[in-house]
Amino acid sequence: MKESKKKTIILGIGNPILSDDGVGIHVIEELKKKKFDIPGITVDSAFTGGMNLLDMIVDHDRAILVDAIKRNDKKPGDVGVYPIGEVSAFHTTNPHDLSLPQAIDMAKRLGEKRIPKDIRIVGINLGELPTEFGENLSPEILNSIPKAVKAVEKEIKKDG
């Protein structure tokens, strides 16, 4: 595939041993299985808070974060694409660390110039929040993975 015009990072976020919480990581694994290999696009995953996320996305033109979200107006397994700040994604709002929007604000205040201009969240809406450790996803979240993968691919195609 031809090189992406924008230097991009696609980052799945979540806890891989906390069932549905880790859906972002599962989406990334699925993407990698499809040999999603475009020059200029990095595909990675993480389980961490805002400061480390910021470290991971700087020096890119565009960041696409894949994470679990919780919206009462959506059904479990619904997938949506949102600009950062519009939704509270699970792992961009870790209250022990800074949230990613706060980390970005801070970095800008300190004169950081390498923050991606375009940061979006591909959010998978969860149903019941996980209360038990495990590696299996609930059926509706498992079914949402192909939708989330398509959403990521669409984002990439849309802007090249």
- Binding residues (CB under 8 A) for another protein: these are 15-18, 21, 46-49, 51-52, 55-56, 70, 72, 88-98, 102, 105-107, 109-111, 129-134
Q: Report the nearest approach of another protein to the CB of residue 129 (Å).
A: 6
- Give CA–CA dist 136/21, Å, rounded: 10
Tokens 């590696």 identify what position? 135
Q: Report the nearest approach of another protein to the CB of residue 6 (Å).
A: 23
107 vs 145 by CB, closer to another protein: 107
- Torsion 102-16-30-125 (CA) sign: negative
26 vs 156 by CB, closer to another protein: 26
- Give CA–CA dist 139/47, Å, rounded: 22
Q: Report the nearest approach of another protein to the CB of residue 78 (Å).
A: 16
1 vs 17 by CB, closer to another protein: 17
Token duo for residue 130 = 């996980």
For residue 28, give the 3-state DSSP assignment: helix
Name the amino acid, one letter, at 39: P
